[in-house]
Structure 1
Amino acid sequence: MQLVEKMEAHGYPTNTVTYNSLVRGLCMHGNLKQSLQLLDRLIQKGLVPNEFTYSFLLEAAYKEKGVNEATKLLDEIIAKGGKPNLVSYNVLLTGLCKEGRTDEAIRFFRDLPAKGFNPNVVSYNIVLRNLCYEGRWKEANELLAEMDGDDRSPSVVTYNILIGSLALHGRTYHAMDVLDEMIRGRFKVSATSYNPIIAQLCQEEKVDLVVKCLDQMIYRRCKPNEGTYNAIAVLCEQGMVQEAFSIFQSLASKQSSSPNDFYKSVISSLCRKGNTYPAFQLLYEMTKSGFTPDSYTYSSLIRGLCLEGMLQAAMQIFMVFEMLIEKGYMPNETTYTILVEGIAHEGQMELAAQVLKELHMREVVSQHVVERLIMQYNLSAIDNF
């Protein structure tokens, strides 16, 4: 609590909003106990916690200790005179669903009026998501039929839940019908609405329908995003790399940026989502088509390999930088930093420290980066910089 005491001593504002920032920060870093101490201090000072304070604490509690402990915490808050609102109960509802306790979640949801709260569209969406993804369509439809009124009318999120779950269960045409209904209802559709359908169509190897879906997206001014690229990459898993590349070629021609920048973005997007192998497959086709990978592209590949635990492959890719240097594409500080981080994430701290020291001696990473990595991964305990 030293930070709080210093703030108060120097006359900084100590209102509920200020405390909420601290509570959230502590919760994000797994310091639930300190967060609760901060809550007590808040109440002692006569400041009334708001719905955000409670939601941060309850979310941290169910993530750290499970939803049962979060429920006990809510009971304690109420016993101390706290007055949580529906947001807090929605957090607990989310916790039950995330733990796969759907039937308990439904009972909890049905008990909300007895606690003085009418479920809103967020409450409905939380339960609906679990029912749909578990394939409990009859119950999901019954819940949907209840969603009528200002506070619980279906939202964009509702439609996206339906589309995503239907596509996941292979009910692609039904998902398309829901998308059409969404459009007719004048809801704002985005790439998020289209991506599950595209992914399933790629899984089913229905390339013509994928192209049609993408054309419709662009016609409706829905810009393809990272999720779209990863959905298209599903074709690579089906052995249809040429078809996937052809689609990316078509998308590249419709972008405002250059094809090179677009391909860099695609490779980076795939690597961030654990699709590094398809990224390599597509990179081969892209280079045959005239794309020249640069240090950013290789940095993305190295990061992807490291995230997927393929450190040796990452080291091999790192070695091809000799070819890049010959062509005038110099690896940058970000590239080297990614490599060290990848090694550290694999738990090989001694190797990470040695590589970092070598890179620093070669003056390709700054002192600032060295200090950050030492602190972040406790490398100073292994090797003296």
Structure 2
Amino acid sequence: MLPGISSQRTHTYHSQSLSRLLKRNHSHFRPGDTKTMSLRSKLSTKLLNISISSLCKAKQISKAESVITDGIRIGVLPDAVTYNILIDAYCRFASIDVAYSVLARMREAGIAPDVVSYNSLISGAVRKSMLFKSLDLFEEMLARGVTPDAWSHNIHMHSLFKLGKPYEANRVFKETVLRGEVHATTYNVMINGLCKNGYVSHALSLFRNLQRHGFVPQVLTYNALINGLCKAKRLKDAQMVLKEFGESGYERNAITYTTVMQCSFRCGFFEQGLEILSEMRNLGFTFDGFAYCTVIAAMIKTGRTREAEEIIDIMVSTGIRPDLVSYNTLISLYCRQGRLEDALKLLDEIEEEGLECDQYTHTIIVDGLCKAGNLDRAWRYLNYMSTLGFGYNLVAFNCMLDGLGKAGHIDDAVKLFEGMEVKDSFTYTILVHNLCRARRFLWASKVLISCLKGGYQVLRATQRAVLVGLHDIGFTNEARKLRSRIRLARLMS
């Protein structure tokens, strides 16, 4: 529990004591009571709220509750602002349930929760990834007659986009436009949400329409759109928006350039990516580990390991302290080159830098050992990972499964598959593919059918390999049954 945050019991005690004090103070103080007026003028509710806000920012919420209690004793009664400060603090540093209970306290004090109260709750639920809870709170706000503002609608749209409901988010956006409550943030939420849900063309169309109606895009707008276009591999459109960004008067930051550079590498336009890198240097951008790792990773994937090493030397010479992403990239490079001992030495260096390896770091090592044919060591390392407290690492097990299959240990691969706690589409695809390599087509057929029944997908090329293999060994009936099962799975997906 964070320092200063009261337990549920303490919170309940505060709630009950405040309720009694409020009733006592409301009954004791009468309009025109000069003593009361004098106290309130000296110690105003505004000063109380400033004190509560300072304590909450310092995560001393239990002390803030005590100050409210003391204030009520001397006649300084909390208002909506007081409780809204508490709601926001509990959302950030405790739980949504505790924050929500403050609404009941407000009603007991005769203060109606307002739009700020609900906005804090909804925003807190989104921060904690409680997206359905945020939608319920929005509906409750409407049901209680609290009118949402632009912030409410923006958070609501953001939640719907994150839940993969772009049509509902678009409906909220249209209603907001009709009411005339749209702000620049609303457009940014809409463009970012459309891009992240795969509707990049709609985002670009909205962007153009807004420009025609006088909307001036912000840095966030450009970055969201460029990022969406890059992820959709629409490099030309991304470069066009990047050019407009530069002509708009805003200063393009390193994130913008790195995004386009990464897209160039992904699309295979290696020279364009390096040109962007050169432009960033000429403009005097300070390179971080992420920008260098983007270049290094692209060079590794294209087999240009010598150039990747040169970039690494440049990164080190500029005094950039490698972060975990940088180390993971270097480990991947060494594993691809077969320099496993150098990769393992980096693990010690990571600890010396005060960093902690993540699951991805260890997975790279397992994959490198498997590709190097050192399966015994990979298996020992996989068992070592289970002692580190990361939980079940499906990707690492998939690497081990593929390594066993490609090394010809198909029976061991099947045994590992059957003992795996969790499986995904990649797991099934790896095993079916390796069973076909070993010409175990009947076995591959059974695994594929089991996969389809479970609602998983296997690559069509792998499915064709099983069908062709069954025909080759004369099992045409099994091939016909498998084809029917594949068609049924496609109809149901």
Give your verdict on TM over 0.5.
yes
Q: What is the deviation of 1:56?
A: 3.1
2:97 maps to which residue? 33
Give the alignment partner of residue 270 of structure 1, picking from 322, 326, 338.
326
Give the alignment partner of residue 297 of structure 1, picking from 350, 373, 376.
350
- Is the alpha carbon distance of 1:299 and 1:310 closer, same or farther for their aligned partners in structure 2, counting shifts above 3 Å? farther
Q: Tell me, in whole angstroms, the C-alpha distance in 1 between the residues paired with 2:331 and 2:130.
A: 36
2:192 maps to which residue? 129
Q: What is the deviation of 1:183?
A: 0.7
Structure 1 residue runs of 5 or longer lacking an equivalent are: 317-338, 348-385
Identity of matched residues, %: 20
Q: What is the deviation of 1:22?
A: 4.2
Quote the RMSD (CA, aligned, Å): 4.3
1:199 maps to which residue? 262
Give the alignment partner of residue 100 of structure 1, picking from 147, 164, 170.
164
Q: How does 1:1-385 map to 2 (within 5 A)?
A: 1=11, 2=14, 3=62, 5-11=65-71, 19-20=83-84, 22-28=86-92, 31-42=95-106, 44-45=108-109, 53-61=117-125, 65-67=130-132, 69-80=133-144, 82-114=146-178, 116-148=179-211, 152-235=215-298, 236-252=300-316, 255=318, 258=319, 262=320, 265-271=321-327, 275=329, 277-278=331-332, 297-299=350-352, 303-306=356-359, 310=363, 343-346=388-391
- Is the alpha carbon distance of 1:177 and 1:109 closer, same or farther for their aligned partners in structure 2, counting shifts above 3 Å? same
Q: What is the deviation of 1:88?
A: 1.1
Q: What is the deviation of 1:268?
A: 3.1
Q: What is the deviation of 1:103?
A: 1.4
Q: Tell me, in whole angstroms, the C-alpha distance in 2 between the residues paired with 1:279 and 1:25.
A: 45
Q: What is the deviation of 1:277?
A: 3.7
Q: Secondary structure at the match of 1:266?
A: coil
Q: Secondary structure at the match of 1:304?
A: coil
Q: Tell me, in whole angstroms, the C-alpha distance in 2 between the residues paired with 1:71 and 1:27.
A: 16
Q: Tell me, in whole angstroms, the C-alpha distance in 2 between the residues paired with 1:311 and 1:30.
A: 36
Q: Secondary structure at the match of 2:357?
A: helix
CA contact (8 A) 2:296 2:312 kept: no
CA contact (8 A) 1:195 1:228 kept: yes
Partner deviation per Cα, 1:231-270 (whole Å, 9 max, x = no partner) = 22432234333222323434555x4xx3xxx2xx234343
Q: Tell me, in whole angstroms, the C-alpha distance in 1 between the residues paired with 2:193 and 2:287.
A: 27
Q: What is the deviation of 1:226?
A: 4.0
CA contact (8 A) 2:229 2:235 kept: yes
Q: Tell me, in whole angstroms, the C-alpha distance in 1 between the residues paired with 2:241 and 2:364.
A: 43
Letter in 2 for 1:70: S
- Is the alpha carbon distance of 1:20 and 1:277 closer, same or farther for their aligned partners in structure 2, counting shifts above 3 Å? farther
Q: Tell me, in whole angstroms, the C-alpha distance in 2 between the residues paired with 1:252 and 1:52.
A: 49
- Is the alpha carbon distance of 1:345 and 1:9 closer, same or farther for their aligned partners in structure 2, counting shifts above 3 Å? farther
Letter in 1 for 2:322: V
Q: Tell me, in whole angstroms, the C-alpha distance in 2 between the residues paired with 1:156 and 1:183.
A: 10
TM-score, L = length of structure 1: 0.64
Q: Tell me, in whole angstroms, the C-alpha distance in 1 between the residues paired with 2:237 and 2:84.
A: 43
Q: What is the deviation of 1:53?
A: 4.1
CA contact (8 A) 2:195 2:229 kept: yes
Q: What is the deviation of 1:145?
A: 2.8
- Is the alpha carbon distance of 1:312 and 1:243 closer, same or farther for their aligned partners in structure 2, counting shifts above 3 Å? closer
- Is the alpha carbon distance of 1:278 and 1:24 closer, same or farther for their aligned partners in structure 2, counting shifts above 3 Å? farther
- Is the alpha carbon distance of 1:10 and 1:275 closer, same or farther for their aligned partners in structure 2, counting shifts above 3 Å? farther
CA contact (8 A) 1:237 1:278 kept: no
Q: Secondary structure at the match of 2:356?
A: helix
Q: Secondary structure at the match of 2:202?
A: helix
Q: Tell me, in whole angstroms, the C-alpha distance in 1 between the residues paired with 2:301 and 2:248.
A: 35
Letter in 1 for 2:206: L
| Higher deviation after alignment, 171-180 or 274-283 | 274-283
1:370 maps to which residue? none
Q: What is the deviation of 1:92?
A: 0.6
- Is the alpha carbon distance of 1:152 and 1:31 closer, same or farther for their aligned partners in structure 2, counting shifts above 3 Å? farther
TM-score, L = length of structure 2: 0.52
1:374 maps to which residue? none
Partner deviation per Cα, 1:196-229 (whole Å, 9 max, x = no partner) = 2221223345443333212211332332234313
**Larger-Rg structure:** 2
- Aligned residues between the structures: 308
Q: Tell me, in whole angstroms, the C-alpha distance in 1 between the residues paired with 2:391 and 2:330.
A: 17
2:19 maps to which residue? none
Q: Tell me, in whole angstroms, the C-alpha distance in 1 between the residues paired with 2:278 and 2:354.
A: 29
Letter in 2 for 1:98: K
